[in-house]
Structure 1
Amino acid sequence: MTINTLQDFYKILGEITENPENVVFRGVKNSSYKLVPSLGRIYDKDGYELDLVKEKLLLKVFKHRAYPFIKDYKDDALEILAIGQHHGLPTRLLDWTKNPLVALYFAVEEEFSTEEKDKNVFSCVHIYQDSKKVKLDYVLDPFSVTEVVRYIPKHWDQRIIAQGGLFTVHNNPYEPWENENLSQILIHKDVRKEIKKALNRFGIHPGSIYPDIDGIARHIKWLRSNIH
């Protein structure tokens, strides 16, 4: 499925999202990117995947050094992983959103590189529909999951709230996730800029996606660069 306008996006959403409560979205700049968590994209100095021992060591060091900021969650490994993921720590979590417009924004947020512009590259919004609802009080050991599960973090950050953020927890972070309930909406490179402008008119822009001073500055910079 390919879109050329924001109206196309709305139409496709209406066709494929029968139960909106159980649908989540993930926007990516390049549709060739696999659904692999950030941990699954790093390797040790010898080029090997990080095993469970090394992965847990990452979390242990993060807990130790970030203690003043995470002490309220010090006994909740999953919540601390979510905080770490939010701040750039490689984890077995993958970011999603409940808001399709937020996902569409992330798909068109960054400019294509010169190489990408020269190729027939598409941006993408991944859609995952699950028959089961996510429980807010879901308790699990992230290192013992046997399948990919969804997880909604506590609202400890304004960005989580603004972005309608949640995560999938992956049992094998190095294996690209494939599932019969996954689908894609492709966005051609020629319409990315116009879609981003349309989203801005609907209030989806850096100032709302990142509700802090950085987001405000990014939005002003973008507005100035797009005034004709």
Structure 2
Amino acid sequence: MSEREAKPKPKPKPKPKPKPKRLGVAEHLQEIKKITAGRECIYRGQSDAKWTLESGAERRVIWNVGPTVKQGTALQNCVQHHHKDLLDKAREKGFGFRDGRPLSDLELLAELQHFGAATCLLDFTTDPLVALYFALGEGEGTETGGRIFICPASSMPVIPVTGEQQEIEDRQKIEKIIGEGPMIWRPIMHGAAERRIIRQSGVFVINAREIMTESEITEKVAQIGDLEKITHPIPSADKKNLRKELEESFGISVQSLFIDLAGFAQNNHYQEDIVDPFIEFYRAETSFIIGDYDNAIKRLNKAIELRQEFPAAIENLGMVMRELGRRKQKNGRANEANDLFTEAINNFDKVIRMGVSSVGTFRNLGLTKFRKGDTEAAIADLKEAIKLDPTDIDSFRILGEIFRSKQNFAEARKYYTKALSLATAQNRPEETIIKIQRELDALGSEDDPPNTPS
């Protein structure tokens, strides 16, 4: 009788992965306590862990202008101009007084924000429970992980709220605050706004965006002890139970934290259009960057309509028209190109008549006349630009290009040589120097000039 083959043993079923332990309010507070180590801190809860510390005003500007406004000082400039416009309009409507006393810029912004306006004031709280509630979110906000930002109160200067009235108003002027680094403001409010601030243990932070960059949030570079760059995550799986516990055991809910809203501020929500010439100017810049020249022209015309004496917008309008004209010229639409060049020239001339022109204005004027075919007038304008700034590389390069087109290679060589010398002396990027050198080499030598202009 043959020996039976042994049956293979069945493979053990993989053990199910243990579900992550869900933390309650007490456990989250304990983790936050480890971070603060007993130091006085302020907190901000946000329902999406990917969100940065952006105020409503910053979000409104970005929504209106586009993400490119985040570069350099553009966002700061837009927010400052928007706030000046917002404050002026609010005061025109009679909102700038309380109990017969004029409100400072920050006091008026706080009143407006209380009713829903998008301002530079970012709400923080001294109560981690309140921050935890805001980190839970509403609706779709409950489906993503949240985050609590934790900042030491001692790391930021405090804007004064007591003292001589004139001194308080001066210290709270918006132009002295925007872009000056993170600051804490603990306002003295009255009425419904006061009750809400008390209930939320609220403080405001201005310029909070500078506390932590987007990469720092994404890469989680913060370490315990580096309190200015500390956040505490709130997993999405914890949110439902945390909300229930906060509402039932701690009495923290939407109804207890918020009291009322009103109409004027709602019209200044961050997704509402900003009707402001400066904002239109940056909208046009965004459109130009992505190649939407028609919309750039529309936005610049709107900016000029809102503020007729706006030389930067007028000059940019000329530059956009010239670029659009160049493209039409390249595509064989000579008449349309010529009309655009003429309009561009009129814009540059207008800036010059306003008495605020620069070397760039004359350079732009000269280049546009060259594109239109009026080379002699172009040469005169470019030489005027060089009088204003003898180190302007681009004016020398354009003159070289003009004389090359006239087959005056000796003059072209002179201007390209000067441009190359300036670019080298000014440590311009290597690709710029190489490009000018190629333009110069293409002219050949005095003994061996090119047969025809390229």
TM-score by length of 2: 0.40
CA offsets, 1:9-59, max 9 Å, x none? Answer: 121122122344x31111111011110111111238665652533330111
Aligned to 1:67, what secondary structure does the other structure show?
coil
Match of 1:18 among 34, 37, 52: 37
Aligned to 1:143, what secondary structure does the other structure show?
helix
- Aligned-pair distance for 1:66? 4.9
Match of 2:149 among 126, 132, 137: 126
Cα distance, 1:136–1:55 mapped onto 2, change above 3 Å: closer
Identify the structure with the greater helix proportion. Answer: 2
One-letter amino acid matched to 1:97: T
Higher RCO (C-alpha under 8 Å, 6+ residues apart): 1
Aligned to 1:78, what secondary structure does the other structure show?
helix
Aligned to 2:147, what secondary structure does the other structure show?
strand
Match of 1:142 among 165, 170, 174: 174
Query: Which has the larger Rg?
Result: 2
Query: Partner residue of 2:374?
Result: none
Cα distance, 1:40–1:71 mapped onto 2, change above 3 Å: farther
Cα distance, 1:33–1:151 mapped onto 2, change above 3 Å: same
C-alpha separation in 2, matches of 1:190 and 1:18: 27
One-letter amino acid matched to 1:131: S
Cα distance, 1:186–1:39 mapped onto 2, change above 3 Å: same
C-alpha separation in 2, matches of 1:153 and 1:11: 30
One-letter amino acid matched to 1:12: E
Match of 1:5 among 6, 14, 24: 24
C-alpha contact (below 8 Å) 1:79/1:153 kept by paired residues: yes
- Aligned-pair distance for 1:85? 1.8
- Aligned-pair distance for 1:144? 1.2
C-alpha contact (below 8 Å) 1:162/1:211 kept by paired residues: no
C-alpha separation in 1, matches of 2:175 and 2:22: 38
Matched, 1:58 2:58: no
Query: Partner residue of 1:93?
Result: 121
C-alpha contact (below 8 Å) 2:150/2:230 kept by paired residues: yes
Query: Partner residue of 1:178?
Result: 212
Aligned to 1:32, what secondary structure does the other structure show?
coil
One-letter amino acid matched to 1:143: E
- Aligned-pair distance for 1:186? 0.8
C-alpha contact (below 8 Å) 2:32/2:232 kept by paired residues: no
CA offsets, 1:153-203, max 9 Å, x none? Answer: 113221111111110112xx8x55428513111111111010001111111
C-alpha separation in 1, matches of 2:33 and 2:229: 16
C-alpha separation in 2, matches of 1:45 and 1:16: 37
Query: Partner residue of 1:153?
Result: 187
Matched, 1:191 2:223: no
Query: Partner residue of 1:79?
Result: 107
C-alpha separation in 1, matches of 2:231 and 2:108: 30
| % identical aligned pairs | 25
Query: Partner residue of 1:168?
Result: 205
One-letter amino acid matched to 1:137: T
Aligned to 1:56, what secondary structure does the other structure show?
helix
Identify the structure with the greater strand proportion. Answer: 1
C-alpha separation in 1, matches of 2:210 and 2:48: 15
Query: Partner residue of 2:397?
Result: none
Query: Partner residue of 2:445?
Result: none
One-letter amino acid matched to 2:204: F
One-letter amino acid matched to 1:149: M
Matched, 1:209 2:227: no
Aligned to 2:176, what secondary structure does the other structure show?
coil
Aligned to 1:131, what secondary structure does the other structure show?
helix
- Provide structure 2 residue ranges, at least 5 long, that are not aligned to the other structure: 1-20, 70-74, 214-225, 261-454
C-alpha contact (below 8 Å) 1:95/1:165 kept by paired residues: yes
Cα distance, 1:104–1:45 mapped onto 2, change above 3 Å: closer
C-alpha separation in 2, matches of 1:209 and 1:46: 32
C-alpha separation in 1, matches of 2:22 and 2:91: 43
Aligned to 2:124, what secondary structure does the other structure show?
strand
- Aligned-pair distance for 1:208? 2.0
C-alpha separation in 1, matches of 2:234 and 2:64: 36
- Provide structure 1 residue ranges, at least 5 long, that are not aligned to the other structure: 213-228
Match of 1:35 among 46, 49, 53: 53
One-letter amino acid matched to 1:89: A
Aligned to 1:155, what secondary structure does the other structure show?
coil
Query: Partner residue of 2:342?
Result: none
CA offsets, 1:57-104, max 9 Å, x none? Answer: 111112222528746553411111111122222221111111110111
